[in-house]
Amino acid sequence: MTAIAILSVAPVTEDSMSEEVAKAVAALEDHNVAYDTTPMGTIIEAEDAETIFAAAAAAHTAVDADRVSTFLKLDDKRTVDQSAAEKVESVEAHLGRPASSDR
């Protein structure tokens, strides 16, 4: 996989967003992407940027709200095949420890 992105899709509301966020995450299943949801967004991996754009559009459309906020940041590495996990492992190798804490 060469395209890695972070996607955040949420209704603009003061109430809980989890039900609508779940709809956005579920919409990713219809696309050929790997994903991992975190508290601040979902990491998506695919073979190409077009697949991620299509998955992000589906996630955006899946949210049923009067106003929807979507953020997509994409890293389209075209000459190197590197997964998101490998990118984290590289940082951890430089740190000499896991790139997280228990705070």
Confidence of residue 14 (pLDDT cuts 50, 70, 90): confident
Per-residue pLDDT tens over the stretch 38-78: 999 999 999 999 999 999 999 999 999 999 999 999 999 88
Contacts of range 16-24, beta carbons closer than 8 Å, 24 or more positions apart: 20/63, 20/64, 20/65, 21/63, 23/62, 23/63, 23/64, 24/59, 24/60, 24/62, 24/63
CATH class given for the domain over 3-95 = alpha beta
Q: Report the half-sphere exposure of 6 (CA within 13 A, side-chain side).
A: 6
Is 5:74 a contact under the CB 8 Å cutoff? yes
Is 70:24 a contact under the CB 8 Å cutoff? no
Given a cut of 70, whether residue 36 has pLDDT beyond it is: yes
Confidence of residue 1 (pLDDT cuts 50, 70, 90): low
Question: Mean pLDDT across the stretch 1-19?
Answer: 90
Question: Mean pLDDT across the stretch 27-45?
Answer: 95
Chain centroid offset of residue 25 CA: 9
- H runs (alpha helix) in 1-103: 18-27, 49-62, 84-95
- The confidence score (pLDDT) of residue 35 equals 96
